[in-house]
A and B are shown apart, each in its own frame.
Chain A
């Protein structure tokens, strides 16, 4: 470190070390109070039979009973299957559509910068409010979505949200509508990061368009694809607001994603201990999934 600087700090003001702690402390303290403390509390609750609607009842330690019950619950596995179906399809569709749109937008046609902003609007909106409104579009009697489908030769009266076969696709459709722009934006940045000389080299080697795509474009964009995958997986695993408004888990429980199930157990049935165990299992799953993806990203980047 610079001698002049050191002298100044000795004379006046606080030392960097003190300042660093003063600057970081409020943030860390708040996070400890509102994140770590609740997390620890959830862990504690998950070993008890506590019910939040009966605050005065005796709290018993029940060991790992809650975890055992969660993992042996057929319904939970049904929720997990619904979550996986939603995650798999929505993210696949978003990646394909988003990549396609990014490739096209990268051709820099006239007015492309205007459209590249307009296309982003859906992803900025409040998911809960969006969910409410899609309910209106999906109305079997007067919904615009049903009308358009029938206009192009649809099956007549059908209900996207009331049909056990269709409603999982309704949430995938709305999620894809909302988040495709997000993936597109990420992948567009990836495409623009490819140095032009790689394409020039491919041209000199007389590589076909397909070869160029597989050998240059795709490997170079891969870190961005994985990043998109990571962010979308975390977000959709946590998905609550959109689905809560759109289907509220129904009909029955076909669209009851993990978060919706958690809400029902914790805030409708008030099985606090049981839902705490479920919450911990979900958190560990997300955390593990992200760690694996981050490792994978590192490997891809090192290549």
Chain B
């Protein structure tokens, strides 16, 4: 390699992978969208690419129609959470019904039924929710387990996200910048860990956790989710790191930084957006995960997804309470989706498509 003049402009430290390697990286380049200025100048010509007004109307109506229909289930969940149990099983289903917070109250409390005279003998209810419970001929017996499950979801979600991001950032940097022997094979190995059906892995993990005493513990689930997320975090972060010019670190190293210092002080701040994006994807996975949580946890470390379907009221499933739990559970993900919308494509394809 030339040494003097090209040093600043040839940042390749690792050699390009030999052509004979299996094509693992399925990168599909998407050209950057035209800038606003060029769009503005192109529009008046209304070239062959600009769809006609009528076809735009047609497209708009079909897409908006589909979206609204596909969002009905979500809206219906939120509406059900604000119903009384009686209204939630009415036929025909009531679109407009008296709204009530009883679902949320039932979600967070346990109650017991009392006789009418016993109820009348009680002192007046102290809070609005106690009042709501009494109106159903019941008294409060204590908090429900939902809070614990929700906190478990938060703890395990954030814990595993943090771990997989820290480990993933280091690994991604090494794969992006250094010559790691067998790099492509390692990367494909990391990706292929995602192909294993969770139930298939759960059999030996269950036995392993039983021997290590990790069944139904927060640590066990955090470790497990970290491992599952590592493939995503390494692949996504490697993509983001590849986009950071090497010249920055090299300039810092010429100024006397070690490679490690350059990584911490120069590369990490540059990769902040990518790290945040990756973190949200990891969080959503851990938040939504069901199979491992179902099979490996029962009491202490159970997360919300296996718990929500088991919320039972009097005489069957308590749909408003389940809907309330579902609403509270889905809400963070809906917010994250809006935050992530520009990076969504990249995340769901493991960085195979970059925009």
Contacts and interface: CB of A to CB of B under 8 A. Distances in A.
B322 to A, nearest CB: 7
Interface string A262-303: 110011000010011001101100110010001001100000
Contact of B203 (A4, A28, A34, A279): A279
Contacts of B8: 2
B348 A182 contact: yes
Interface residues of B, number: 121
A152 interface: no
Contacts of A52: 203, 206-207
Contact of B26 (A139, A227, A258): A227
A211 to B, nearest CB: 14
Contact of B319 (A101, A119, A136, A196): A136
A249 interface: no
A137 B88 CA distance: 11
B142 interface: no
Is chain A's interface secondary structure helix, strand, loop, or mixed overall? Answer: helix
B353 A186 contact: yes
A57 interface: no
A124 B197 contact: no
Nearest to B325: A129
Interface in B318-355: 319, 322-323, 326, 329-330, 333-334, 336-338, 341, 344-345, 348-349, 352-353, 355
Contacts of A19: 174, 178, 259-260
A42 B204 contact: yes
Nearest to A273: B203
B234 A27 contact: yes
B193 interface: yes
Contacts of A110: 56, 60
Contacts of A234: 194-195
A177 B59 contact: no
Given A34-B223, A192-B30, A227-B353, 12 more contacts: A2-B3, A38-B204, A39-B201, A41-B204, A109-B57, A112-B60, A127-B288, A127-B290, A177-B70, A193-B28, A195-B31, A238-B195
